Structure 1
């Protein structure tokens, strides 16, 4: 790989140094990640690495709208009390048998994570999982470990489950809501079954099929503290209807010619109006939502744009093609494992921000006759980001939430206990995903 004369100038050199320094600081997790992203983005602009006149074109507005809209929709749906209703239903159907309780709750976690997102799901379910474990005198670890693994994996199956999926899907409009389900759904379903079975086998002495003495009807299941208990009944049903309608519209968006971000934003506005009528304190809710990631994503978009403008993305794509001799299978597998392993160590979003333009440039250099030729690479990137986050307790937001809430409830989720289950299952899942990419997605 030879560097062009332009690449040897000071701007590309400074660009890669700034990016590597920012990445190193992100890995230490000692400073606010959003602050680092904004500082790096501003330096890219001030030094002319990224053009001021291209700032708005660097930013993927559809992705930001989709993320913001789904965050608001998830918050309103959670505060309407539907998650608790479904949790109680699962417990009653289990007949007080710990094994069926565990399986049912993991299925509920998977569905919520795929249709909402892993963070919202964990915030809503973890307090109830801790309460269930305490009421049943069962260890909390299998429920929490299972919830983290299942949440991260299931969220990978849909466009809206993982933030990385939203980024990938909006960067390539052909990767629609239904495309994610059709292509990634089968492999994610297999991985979920393996994970539930393995966790149950590890804790089978506690998660037995014999019923408990105390029946579910007598349990006192704790709600998340911010869930409203006085939601008007008719409005609660309206919240659910709007949520289902939003999901349906996301499924048929390509036929309508609508962008996912528009649908999510419209759904969020309607949800807020109905939530207000339902008695949910939407003003307080909006203040409690995590708005900081929007600035983080904006900073990453500008940094990625600067790396493209400075020539590093072109150079990286050339190196990848030379390394793999242009083999689509090897490119997909390399990105799958690199993304998966990096996701175990830190937040994978900075990596995704750089990989998206790299994949696009790779397609240009390989003269891909259609965008569909690159689809296996996109799917490999999504699988690596979603699966890799379960490698350690601290490598995903779901794990951090579970650990923090357990500590506050005096039910510690130990790092090593999670590691002995999460790491082997994650590596095995990456191996299964490699076979799926190599033999199914790339025939």
Structure 2
């Protein structure tokens, strides 16, 4: 690692992160300025930043988000989100914690199948609508949902983007993730429901008069175009099926999302202004700049240096290595965004696994890495794709969530879930 380029990359990244955290300057302007400065100083890999999968902009993520935003924008025209909002309000009887459990459960169950980004894009509009009908602040519910999505997404290969990266590098299948990750994910999710009751208690103010206005509403009347809804649900079902089978059909999830978006537009006949207006363009630009910033840390050797020092520190103590991967990834991934972090660290973990005394120990290191990388997504407001997407949706809906408003809940959740994950790794892979 060359000292001056690495130092420059660290300084630029740190200053940008401080500006993002303090929200003194628009976060899109910050990441574009930081990315431009890194490029001007030659800290990123030249034009490769636009083409290298692991050393630049991850277009798979960008196009996955774009495709799903278009799909959600078309579906929104049917009124189905209003229908589900009224249904959720009626089922919860307007009681805030009951409503949160209902929405979080939907999010947690859907995330392993759809992936956490897609899930929050579908659930967030419903949440905002139901909270407005019941006179409740939407922010606590949106934060709880994205935290639950990041936990639930850890259960499967396709549930969280870092899992796709890790599965590809380690040769791990969908069933491998289900067998090793799903049990601890269920435990963490149940613990989170209890934690949410405490963390968001100030938001649980029941307003019976608001519920009276919703109780007798006909939810089905909110569906403005039933025929369009049927067509949209068929396309969405095909997209979900392709997501689930993408390792079998060998079509990347980003390509599935774009094909689904194109088919959705085709069968709906919706005017382009309707669905393009729902695309979170600032969020996509933010991701692009963030990937370039992380590429600067990668290209100058900062992240690999951290990984190598960690490897040297643990030596032949593989439980210490697993512990470092769980807690170290939970911390580092929270600052670097867990997608590029996972892509950068995967080769380092592969080296650790190659030196393991047996395949079981090697796999334990992969699962430790996957848990740490996935759970790091809750560490800060910019640590995972789902977080950034929800903050963008909330800002557009005039229900803004600040960096620290999200992060103070995310840190507590990350600590709790990471400890549970570490105990699970010890009991399952090392205690016997």
Alignment match, 2:140: 145
Q: Which stretch shows the higher mean deviation, 101-110 or 153-162?
A: 153-162
Shift of 1:235: 1.7
Alignment match, 2:244: 251
Shift of 1:171: 6.6
Rounded to whole Å, the distance in 2 between the matches of 1:389 and 1:354 is 14
Q: Is the 8 A contact 1:50 1:302 kept in 2?
A: yes
Q: 1:117 aligns to what SS in structure 2?
A: helix
- Alignment CA distance shift 1:101-1:321 (3 Å): closer
Alignment match, 2:308: 318
Residue by residue over 1:237-268, the C-alpha shift from the partner in whole angstroms, topping out at 9 and shown as x without a partner, is 11111112111111111111211111111111
Alignment match, 1:196: 193
Rounded to whole Å, the distance in 2 between the matches of 1:75 and 1:332 is 42
1:152-301 residue pairs with structure 2 within 5 A? 152-158=147-153, 165-166=160-161, 169-170=164-165, 172-173=167-168, 174=171, 183-197=180-194, 199=196, 217-219=215-217, 230-231=224-225, 233-276=226-269, 280-301=270-291
Q: 2:152 aligns to what SS in structure 1?
A: coil
Q: CA RMSD in A?
A: 4.7
- Alignment CA distance shift 1:364-1:247 (3 Å): same
Q: 2:42 aligns to what SS in structure 1?
A: coil
Q: Is the 8 A contact 2:157 2:167 kept in 1?
A: no
Shift of 1:190: 2.7
Alignment gaps of 5+ in structure 1: 1-5, 135-139
- Alignment CA distance shift 1:440-1:270 (3 Å): farther
Rounded to whole Å, the distance in 1 between the matches of 2:147 and 2:282 is 21
Rounded to whole Å, the distance in 1 between the matches of 2:85 and 2:394 is 21
State TM-score, norm by structure 1.
Answer: 0.72
Alignment gaps of 5+ in structure 2: none
1:317-396 residue pairs with structure 2 within 5 A? 317-325=307-315, 327-338=317-328, 340=330, 348-350=335-337, 352-354=339-341, 356-364=343-351, 367=354, 374-389=365-380, 396=387
Shift of 1:295: 3.0
Q: Is the 8 A contact 1:118 1:162 kept in 2?
A: no
Alignment match, 1:3: none
Residue by residue over 1:399-429, the C-alpha shift from the partner in whole angstroms, topping out at 9 and shown as x without a partner, is 86898799879xx99x99996x876555333
Q: 2:133 aligns with which of 131, 143, 159?
A: 131
| Aligned residue-pair number | 409
Shift of 1:13: 3.6
Residue by residue over 1:179-221, the C-alpha shift from the partner in whole angstroms, topping out at 9 and shown as x without a partner, is 66554443333333333345558969x899xxx9959651488
Q: Is the 8 A contact 2:192 2:413 kept in 1?
A: yes
- Alignment CA distance shift 1:294-1:126 (3 Å): closer
Alignment match, 1:77: 75
Q: 1:31 aligns to what SS in structure 2?
A: coil
- Alignment CA distance shift 1:251-1:441 (3 Å): farther
Q: Is the 8 A contact 1:63 1:170 kept in 2?
A: no
Q: 1:188 aligns to what SS in structure 2?
A: helix
Q: Normalized per residue, which structure has more helix?
A: 2
Shift of 1:128: 0.8
- Alignment CA distance shift 1:375-1:146 (3 Å): same
Q: 1:157 aligns to what SS in structure 2?
A: helix
- Alignment CA distance shift 1:80-1:381 (3 Å): farther
Shift of 1:97: 7.8
Q: Is the 8 A contact 2:74 2:264 kept in 1?
A: yes
Q: 2:283 aligns to what SS in structure 1?
A: helix
Rounded to whole Å, the distance in 2 between the matches of 1:94 and 1:238 is 29
Q: Is the 8 A contact 1:87 1:108 kept in 2?
A: no
Q: 2:160 aligns to what SS in structure 1?
A: helix
Rounded to whole Å, the distance in 1 between the matches of 2:188 and 2:59 is 32
Shift of 1:105: 3.9
